[in-house]
Structure 1
């Protein structure tokens, strides 16, 4: 992602340049598609969207049209958004193995040691444990090693105007990506830099924590005090922004994310316990009344719980009792498998730190 300049400083720069908004360099404005590429300048729907965004956001119309117009259709990206075919078995052990290995744990130890003071400061200020932040950055990008190489403008334009209509939630998801494209344009208009430069994932997520543009606008913070937000090069900004994100979504300091759970088969109503999916719904008493078996501090839990099922292919599923903090982790990525990987990686890194 691009470094954001303070508003007052950017205004001064633009006044000195005699401009109201940064325009693309001439070379970018005259960019032409090479054989086999499609630029969105040729698409009426994309240009209508550009005009609408410019008017609603009070942005320079030529700049917005030029930026979107120079975005390229990425033919492979729509296919990457399609869900797995029906009947594809989920497997927690396989999923976990993609994120919990010696190389990633070792990288996590180095990241934690290099940023120990900042992680401790964020934990004290936001209440989010260091191991959660370490788990997120490790799962997302292996601590900055893999931040994506898709041009963000290309990815967002492709998903805004060519989202696969075979997706079961195509209209909803396409609207989401149009909102992200709009947020990206709004942010980039304040950087005085070339919006064709930022790279990220095929979905348009950026930096070490893989924030989407709207998350950058809402939750990213300048945590190193240099007057700019940089989620690519500033580990302090990354740590502070991830902690701020979790606090904004209701992270409760000191609350466990999961508890062990077993079942009393004689009175188990697993269908009832699983019905709300990962959203905490049951008090500890109601959870136990449904046939769940909790022990120790779990029985004294004051908040709500959810039964989290992690399928293991042909083998029996694994289960945990998820708290509100587990649910908060899924606000980063709507997946119980993802949330458990974040927790497990953080724990493994902490354990390695203590050896």
Structure 2
């Protein structure tokens, strides 16, 4: 199993000081976290794409290109790239370039996003969301797999005798994940093409996400593909469980999740783990009861105003105590 971290890149005040990092500080914190994750032994670093406050990663391409030059081993990914509002030609060129810069250790997670306002900002209609995703992805696949493309669709200008450059490294396009919370259409898209499905697994009961993964596995078999499943999660860890709860509670109370119940309620019912390394191990291994064996686990690591120093300490503790235990479980592979 690949085990990694992802950032949504939110800017929030530290509840202890009331001070928020600047955009400059937050962007550099994300890159520092990515480099430190490699040092701590993680396999994957991923960043989201957002186009409004309080988030800063409007350009995951730039962040990943920086990390490609700053790391040596870790797989670089997105979490997610908006397939609906980005031009497929731009995506094909940008992510093939990162693939070359990263010597092939790069993949892409595609999704529709949660903020419907983005559609109008990029000249699209949110009512066309699933159709945009399907058409744009079909074109993206062709641009990566065919040297010359002639194409006519509904949502962008036609292409004639077009070659996307650079070509994918060694002729092999980046592996594609499709990120989803509940979209059956996204699961079908992933299954049809033999791509991976990454299930969000955040903020709601873990069992709520199982039908989507079951549907994806069923449709993958129908299309003759082996399913590749990724699962999200969130952890805050200290050597002593109560220390983790006491330290994380002020940050949790400042998040929208607090409106859905107490910290204890969400730890009991969702993928959020706040506790000792063994509790993180046990909770993460329990995900297999819902999703079966899966191939990638990503932890949300740095949201809600957590200071950079705290996040780096989290990476060290997870890397030293949690990763080895997860990797030695034969049924987790």
User: Could you state the TM-score of these two structures normalised by the residue count of structure 1?
Assistant: 0.21
Larger radius of gyration: 1
Which one has the bigger strand percentage?
A: 2
